[in-house]
Structure 1
Amino acid sequence: MDPGFMAERAVDPGTRAVRWVVADTGTLELQVEATAFIASLRSRGLSPNTERAYAGRVALYLNHCTERRLDWRAPSFLSLSGFQRWLVTEPLPPRGRRRPDGPVLRSRNTANAVMTAVAGLLRFCVANGWADPNVAALLAQPKYLVHLPAGYDAGEHNQFRTVDAAAFRFRLTDPGYEDLTPDQIAHMVGLAPRARDRFLIALLACTGVRIGEALGLRRQDMHLLASSRALGCSTEGPHIHVHRRTDNPNRALAKTRKPRTIPVTADLVALYTAYRHERDAVAAAADGDMVFVNLLRPPLGRAMSYPNTKEMFDRLARTARHACRPHMLRHSAATTWLRDGVDRDVVQYLLGHVSPLSMERYRHVDDTETRAAVERLQALRENR
């Protein structure tokens, strides 16, 4: 076997907690520096999903250096630049049964994510004396902020307008964010063959929760009565509770660090009731604690996983003949709230964002709004 490294999932035998490490592909020995870096992410409270992504990206960099006999601890500007270019020019190996017609390349956005992980590894190693100290200077370059982000304080004398920016990062055009119209969402609900899937689609569209938060819901989080005081909850009206848990059997994770309460509509309560009837008919699924569980495929009653959910949305997309992804429903909820005049602080809470800067991605202008603005101006001119 050729020398190399891989991201590997590890389970703590005592706590059963999932950890991610970088290991040698031949001996399975840990790559000490990379594994310590991944552990540092964990100590900062980042999720296991983030650990997994960073472990894979770091292993990719280590393998690239190994194959070219480069010292990953002391890369030159040219070697880092070459790795960045390699990321978007080297075809990906085929995956699954389907073979694409041509080579599949990484996007520039994916390459930027890899370079971010590599820069984090190198800075971590420099701080611990494991890498050439001169490397740190290669990873950043000064950038003057001509346009300040919302809420950013440039200082009394604009002393904070110059910031350190990533040196190895492709410049991207704004790809825009896709959302779904109410008619498209209703069509998706109508196309879903099972009550469980109809409830999941409606839940994402109604509450704006992330798919990981939805798949991590427990039945005790569903407070769908007019009053939940009997359950020890003072929140009035039907609602759900979103918690950050790291012990979900399907590895679903709520990205938000703070629990939050999200009101739901009577229509969503009706869909959940229909799902409960469907679920109760499957003996193995009737008493499980997780909200979303397998109803047709074994093991019955097990919590739905990310791959199963993606497969379900892919089938819906083919039937509906338009893109249909869970995050599009989250984006649709946020955009609808903002267009309807809901206060940005309220929307930020509902979405579980810590920073108000994260809200910028959700508010965009559509054709209806631009048409209305032009027609309003024309009407004013005619009235004058």
Structure 2
Amino acid sequence: MPPVSLAQLALRTNLGKHELWERLHVRDLTESEAEAVAPELRREGATRPIHWHLVPGDRVLRRELHDAYGGSIQGGIIASSRFPDLFVFTDPERGARHGYDLYERLMPDGSYTYTGAGQEGDQAFLRGNKALLESAQRGQKIRLFRQEPRYVTYVGEFATGTPAYELRQIPDRNGNMRTGIIFKLIPVSADPTLLATADVSSAVATESAWTAPSSTDVVATGARELAAGRRISRREFELQRSFGEWLTRQGERVSVLSLPVDGTIITPDLYVSSRSWIVEAKRSVAREHVRTAIGQSLDYAHVARMHGYKAKPMILLPGAPTGSLTDLVRTNGIALAMQAGAGFSVLTPDAPLA
């Protein structure tokens, strides 16, 4: 029989793990040892309000979780009349027959896309889906767990992102396509690496040759979705293509990196290996876009260096930003590439201002 962890004992007694450690001075117990000490500890815990006792990485029996906090032991989105938080359980591998594996994954931006409840027919905002959608306005914490047979691993506290959801086409258990609700969950206090799938956990960094994308890769709505779930506008797509072709004509070596990090894979827009530039493109010179690009380009360069690549951050824009933004980019050690007519101008951090 598996040992009983302090996390499990905390659920059984409503006493904190640190307090249990101070009393017992053990990290886990046999089931018989736990049964021997539990009655007295449980009597003391019963005099206290119910507290949240788990931290990310704690693995407990799902039955014990619901014994402590209430709610049904079945289902993926669970509310309880005994505890204010909302419990969400993810098991995309097991849910593949219901189409849950198509979009349920850790995203490069750190969010987690979660497929709503409903195994047949179009999913609707009823019961658990409604509760998850309205969790933010109620101030309700989302407790996300990774499900396995009998046990669950606590990933951490999440909240709905912006937008809170998207509607996508997914198959049901009979293979019929239906509308699915894909929630966007963002970590508040969590360890998202616990959500990594086996293929991502074992992935290695790769570099592949860049080729100019076909115009058929751009959809009529003005945006397309990348394999990693990231979206790119038509303007940004064309900007990347023009820059890549311009670099190639200049004799530069252009490639694409795939970089595993923290349970997901990030793919910078371009990697100019001959210059060590790692490029993040934005479709606008607006402050919002430039500020976002600064963080992304620095992150990409940092992760690339972790994998042994020489990497200098670069931002690609369709024009010149304002002077204050240009200065902000340069003071952060980031190169700036700006479209200028049929070509591009490049401003490196150490280049003198005109």
TM-score by length of 1: 0.26
Query: Quick check: which one's strand share is greater?
Result: 2
Q: Which has the higher helix share?
A: 1
Q: TM-score, normalised by structure 2?
A: 0.28
